[in-house]
Amino acid sequence: MTSQRLQLMLMLLAVITDDVRAHVELIGAGATAPAPAYIACMAAYSSLRRPFVDVRLDYHARGSGFGKRAIASGSVSYAGSDSLLSAADYEKNRDLQMFPSVAMSVSRALVD
């Protein structure tokens, strides 16, 4: 196979695979405290997956209440919150599940 022919085949393969690459978009919203951890993880994941998947990850840190409303309305893929869903929230949105993703400590400053 000639070098020119091989280059042409590789270019064609690149065009074909680019069109069939998976497109992933995960948008989240919610609590501000875990946002730095989420953003760092998104950057690392995106850089590793980008050669294989067209991935777009984003997180809007606007507060737990905002995140809960956004996930319930279906406008985001995931939400961060530092408070639990109420029984009424679970009743209205039976598909929602909560699981811990970031552990943080809370401390109080003592001033004499």
pLDDT tens by residue, 11-68: 666 655 555 567 788 899 999 998 999 999 888 888 887 777 788 889 999 999 999 9
Query: Is residue 94 in some structural domain?
Result: no
Range of the domain at 45: 14-81
Q: What is the pLDDT of residue 109?
A: 82
Locate 90 and state its tokens.
């679970």
Starting at the earlier edge strand, list the strands of the sheet with 23-30: 54-61, 23-30, 78-80
| Structure confidence at residue 17 (pLDDT) | 56
What string of DSSP letters covers 58-69?
A: EEEES-HHHHHH
Q: Is the pLDDT at 69 greater than 70, yes or no?
A: yes
Residue 33 in domain: yes
Tell whether 38 is covered by a domain.
Answer: yes
In a domain, 66, yes or no: yes
Numbers of helices and strands, H then E, in the chain: 4, 3
Asked whether residue 44 is domain-assigned, the answer is yes
Report which of residues 3 and 69 the model is more confident about: 69
Q: Of all helices (H) and strands (E), which one includes residue 23?
A: strand 23-30
Predicted local confidence at residue 28, as pLDDT? 94
Domain CATH code at residue 23: 3.40.190.10
Whether 4 is covered by a domain: the verdict is: no
Number of separate domains in the chain: 1
